[in-house]
Structure 1
Amino acid sequence: MITIRIFLQQAASFDWEVHQMDVHNAFLHGDLADEVYMKFPPGFRTGDTNKVSRLHKSLYGLKQAPRCWLAKLAQAMKFFGFVQEYSDYSLFVLVTNNARLHVLVYVDDLIITGSSIHVVNEFKYYLSSCFHMKNLGILRYFLGLEVARSPSGIYLCQRKYALDIIAETGLLGVKPITFPLEQNHKLAYAKGSPFPEPARYRRLVGRLIYLGNTRPELSYAIHILSQFMDSPQQAHWEVVLRVVCYLKNSPGQGILLRANAPLTLTAWCDSDHATCPFTRCSLTGYFIQLGGSPLSWKTRKQDVVSRSSIEAEYRAMADTVSEILWLRQLLPFLGITVTTPITLYSENLSAIMLAGNPVFHARTKHVGTNCHFIRDEIIRGTIATQHVSTTTQLADILTKALGQKQFEVFLDKQGVCNLHTPHDCDKNSSRSHIRLGHPLYSRS
């Protein structure tokens, strides 16, 4: 999903068209190199009932089918001149003297963009000659993500998916809630009767996890609720329903990938020291922007217990730098040069000083050596740390439950908006500017 957001952010910044294609019966195209046998299908009569058939082509249901299809597709793409990126095997790039062409693959769905519409059409014609393809035109819907485009950029949301969640739980008629979790919640201490349908709880939380691909503000709530999958209590189920009531407030909320934005990376990291009441592990949250648009975010519990808030913040910085290094490896393949140090914002001055000053003393000798690679990246010029106050720390919403006023302020700063609310995504443009192609975005 991070690669998809990079892919679309670049298209929005350079004003490239994004097209979509679908492969009919993709797994049937793969050539099977392994020796695999199968029984004859029902109704097929043969003289010898002990005989079996050997497969030369892949079939749906075979473990080898996805790998065979990807190998077949990659072979056709490389023959056309594409290069496959090893940081993400689903990404293919073609560079010619006067054009760039990018293709992102997910099984049988392909999204295509490039600097020349002529090269895009030429490639689509070539692909149709190799496989039985369906040309879906301009990108509207991909992997559950609904795409709308305007001069302001590309808007991603999962409105239909969110409405399905609300309808499944029977909360279409409830009163909406403006923020997902109450401040100072005590879910870890919840006691009472176990929820009688744990499978239903797991299914609902699982659906919320996928919804988090366009809703970064849900990251903390999803992290908390995912910890009770094994034996949820009735109190946990009530909190899940509260999150669904929050979705009812704005089911079409999503992220805006801004157009005409300089493709520079900016990172924010934060931690909540000893937040888990049982393991005393801290919580890490990071938020990375590309061109001022949301790109990558995560909330996770740290693996070890930090002895101080400095160590917890330092480990949060290490997790963020690891993600930055992967992004720096991927972006040049897309033609996005990263020459200046990436600014990493943290609210802990002690952690910033620890990252820049390789002095060994009593307060740092217990910090794991795997975290000290941050210093090497600062010396190399990969990152540049900078202090930021708590009120402007964008990752703060990923590590704790905030009140309504603070929550709404952080939504605006992170670039989370609602296309269905007039002027919410762009104060200077009207909703009539949106290029609507999906029935969901009808002007009525």
Structure 2
Amino acid sequence: MIITGDDPEYIAFVKARLRDQFLMTNLGPLRYFLGIEVFSTSDGFYIFQKKYIQDLLARAALGDERTVETPMELNVKLQPTNGDHLPDLTRYRHLVGSLVYLAVTRPDISYPVHILSQFFSAPITIHYNHLLRVLRYLRGTITRRFFFPRSSSLQLQCYSDAMWASDPSDRRSLSAYCVFLGGLLIAWKTKKQTAVSHSSVEADLRDMTLLTAEVTWLRWFLADFEVSITTPTLVLSDSTCVISVARDPVKHELTKHIGVDAFYTRA
């Protein structure tokens, strides 16, 4: 059990009451939990998964010591065919599943993990080669850590973007966003959109709508912890067309089919 808070006396009281009811051992300050390492300083604390990555690399048994600078090649388009099927599907699924958990503290691998997870049922050799590239990237960046300062502003700021028709198999677009609370990255996601978008504007608008729903939930969630955010949340996009449609959805009859998304984002 992990006990948190800023009142040492009350924490000690809770521990004493729990020891009266259960057989417990006080392990001291949090340092390691479910593969996640925690290092505390006077300015804040770091979370990372260095040991988890080392164990993952040992299980992968890479035959070399190479590293790469990026987790995936630029503009690569993986498809479910055009390659030989792997003789052992369990190894691919095990490694990708481990990367899914690692992405909890490594948002820089969120995109390649999302792509590789789509081929769980029938991975081929090219998918496995790209999986090995992610592992080599992790080997070269194993010391990267998340830092959470003890003090930060309570201003939410968000960034969204979409890759239009990026999946060559079904031409659905890819949504991606990240949310900052002050200087803290607290939420991020890479997700394929559920419908085919007719244009990049439509794909970006759907991405912004997904982010708007996430921000709405986060504001409610923070309110439950009595964290009051009174200022509007900035949702930033690099598409001037999307910003224009979100401000005034009744711009053209061609936007009627995405009017719901536009009005939701605008509200």
Same fold (TM > 0.5):
yes
Query: Could you tell me which of 107, 112, 116 is aligned with 1:225?
Result: 116
Structure 1 match to 2:98:
207
Q: Contact (CA 8 Å) 1:190, 1:235: kept in 2 or not?
A: no
Q: Contact (CA 8 Å) 1:178, 1:249: kept in 2 or not?
A: yes
Structure 2 residue identity aligned to 1:159:
K
SS in 1 for 2:255: coil
Q: Contact (CA 8 Å) 1:258, 1:291: kept in 2 or not?
A: no
Query: Could you tell me which of 193, 198, 204 is aligned with 2:84?
Result: 193
Structure 2 residue identity aligned to 1:372:
F
For residue 186 of structure 1, report the CA deviation from its aligned partner: 3.1
For residue 246 of structure 1, report the CA deviation from its aligned partner: 0.8
For residue 127 of structure 1, report the CA deviation from its aligned partner: 1.9
Structure 2 residue identity aligned to 1:179:
T
For residue 124 of structure 1, report the CA deviation from its aligned partner: 1.4
Structure 1 match to 2:107:
216
Q: In 1, distance between residues paired with 2:262 and 2:248?
A: 14
Query: Could you tell me which of 96, 107, 116 is aligned with 2:7?
Result: 116
Q: Contact (CA 8 Å) 1:166, 1:172: kept in 2 or not?
A: no
Query: Could you tell me which of 281, 292, 304 is aligned with 2:195?
Result: 304
Structure 2 residue identity aligned to 1:232:
P
- Summarize the alignment of residues 42-441 of structure 1 with structure 2, pairs less than 5 Å apart: 110-171=1-62, 173-188=64-79, 191-367=82-258, 369-370=260-261, 372-376=263-267
Q: Contact (CA 8 Å) 2:206, 2:261: kept in 1 or not?
A: no
1:308-357, Cα deviation, whole Å (9 max, x unpaired): 11111111011111111111111122221110001111111111121121
Q: Contact (CA 8 Å) 1:283, 1:299: kept in 2 or not?
A: yes
For residue 360 of structure 1, report the CA deviation from its aligned partner: 4.9
For residue 228 of structure 1, report the CA deviation from its aligned partner: 1.0
Structure 2 residue identity aligned to 1:123:
V
For residue 368 of structure 1, report the CA deviation from its aligned partner: 5.7
Structure 1 residue identity aligned to 2:166:
T
1:190 to 1:153, Cα distance in 2 relative to 1, 3 A: farther
Identity value in percent: 39
For residue 264 of structure 1, report the CA deviation from its aligned partner: 2.1
Q: In 1, distance between residues paired with 2:130 and 2:259?
A: 36
Bigger Rg, structure 1 or 2: 1
Count of aligned pairs between the two proteins: 267
- Which one has the bigger strand percentage? 1
1:177-217, Cα deviation, whole Å (9 max, x unpaired): 12111112132276221111111111110000000000001
Q: In 2, distance between residues paired with 1:207 and 1:127?
A: 34
1:355 to 1:177, Cα distance in 2 relative to 1, 3 A: same
Q: In 2, distance between residues paired with 1:371 and 1:229?
A: 34
Q: In 1, distance between residues paired with 2:63 and 2:41?
A: 30
1:371 to 1:137, Cα distance in 2 relative to 1, 3 A: farther
Which runs of 5 or more structure 2 residues have no equivalent in the other structure?
none
Q: Contact (CA 8 Å) 2:179, 2:185: kept in 1 or not?
A: yes
Q: In 2, distance between residues paired with 1:151 and 1:285?
A: 34
1:304 to 1:368, Cα distance in 2 relative to 1, 3 A: farther
TM-score (norm 2): 0.95
